[in-house]
Amino acid sequence: MTDRPDLPAGLAPDSDPTAPEPPPSVWVAGTETGDDKLKPVPPGRGDNFLTKVLQNRYLGWVGLAIAVVAPFIDGSNYAIGIMTNALIFVMLAVGLNIVVGYCGLLDLGFAAFYAIGAYVSGSVAKIFSWPILATIPFVLAAAIVAGVIIGGPTLRLRSDYLAIVTLGFGEIIRITANNVTVTHNDMPVISGPSGIYGIPSLSFGGLNLSPITNPIGSYFATLVIVAIGVLIASRLGRGRLGRAWRFIREDEDAAEAMGIHTYTVKLAAYIAGAMFGGVAGILWGAKQTAVSPTDFTFLYSALILMAVVLGGMGSIPGVILGAIVISTLPDLLTGAGAWRFVIFGVLLIVVMIFRPQGLWPHRAVERVRRRLRAPRGPGESGPYGPDEPEAVAT
């Protein structure tokens, strides 16, 4: 191979020096054993077939297509109900993943935002006789206020202390809902332990999407809302704010030293997760047409957290998979009778022993590329452009 004096020490072309200029993807910064010089690394080196499949950008569309086809495979009311519950649980898990998976904040009271969404939407819909979708702005506002109230004074805490505070917040919301009675025109709206009943189902453009009379329509309406939520969460994780969340998760002190306002960024994660929980509460109330404090216990918060950990913290596909497993596995084990929860627990333990990183863990590859450019003008040093970082995350 002929030497090229215009290349800095440590860089060598992977083809004949007289060949045309190689594409930028050929030149990446990397290290070899015992050698810290820049080397040309072939794109995709070391990626096996399974890794390429799991990182395929079109895999999400495949999952959406499966969700669309599923009701036509088994269209019974029982199956449609299980699938709708799984979609709502996916929305909850994706919201908690922003808090726990992206930002690394341990939240043990996420069901509180779920309850706020269900109670606010049900109350507003009954008092003003509005369709349930018209209550979304009120639910989002209530979730933001609740996120600021609980997150404002407590997000300066870390690890176990933050977990204890969020656990207490979840119990406060449940106990409050259990003791509140609200009436409107001498008609009960919130009935304490009995909760709210008579919540209107989903409807759009005069089309009734009741889970009783039109279960498939209710399922597809829920699917559309959850798919939009998953897309938003994925874009947040890949954006500038998502990178700040990951930096805080890895080392909060280092992130603050690099200029990230950690308190504000953590509060943004907490509020974003609260909004997802509130929307899930709307969907739950519309499906059940009734909610009560027993729907929002600590056990439910633990199950949502379990879905995030089981699927893979920080991984949107993993969280979706974990939510589907956690929400459907007990129903699939109904044939085992009283042993189904024992089998359910044993299976979860086995999975966490052999896959501690989760069923579909988050993968992030940071590449730094140097672009080979045409020779610069007089007075400009070197033929290379600036380093170009590229983050690839799934």
Question: Which H or E run includes 387?
Answer: strand 384-393
Q: Is the pLDDT of residue 341 over 70?
A: yes
For residues 237 and 314, the answer to whether their CB atoms sit within 8 Å is yes
Q: How much is the average pLDDT of 209-232?
A: 90
Nearest one of 52, 53, 83, 91 to 319, comparing CA atoms: 91
- Residue 149 in any domain: the answer is yes
- Residue 364 in any domain: the answer is no
- Residue 47 in any domain: the answer is no
Q: pLDDT category, 384, cuts 50, 70, 90?
A: very low
For residues 196 and 290, the answer to whether their CB atoms sit within 8 Å is yes
- Residue 161 in any domain: the answer is yes
The pLDDT of residue 158: 74
For residues 13 and 5, the answer to whether their CB atoms sit within 8 Å is no
- Residue 265 in any domain: the answer is yes
How many domains does the structure of the chain reveal?
1
> What are the tens digits of pLDDT across the range 360-381?
877 654 444 444 444 445 544 4
Q: Which two tokens stand for residue 82?
A: 């299980």
- Coil vs helix vs strand at 252: helix
Q: How far is it, in rounded angstroms, from Cα 5 to Cα 354?
A: 52
- Residue 44 in any domain: the answer is no
Q: How much is the average pLDDT of 199-221?
A: 86
Q: How many CB atoms sit inside 10 A of residue 73's CB?
A: 8
CATH number at residue 193: 1.10.3470
At 309, the amino acid letter reads: V
> What are the tens digits of pLDDT across the range 249-294?
888 889 888 888 888 999 999 999 999 999 999 999 999 888 999 9
- Residue 154 in any domain: the answer is yes
Q: How far is it, in rounded angstroms, from Cα 46 to Cα 48?
A: 6
> What are the tens digits of pLDDT across the range 295-337?
898 888 989 999 998 888 888 988 999 999 999 988 888 777 7
Q: Is the pLDDT of residue 79 over 50?
A: yes
Range of the domain at 225: 74-354
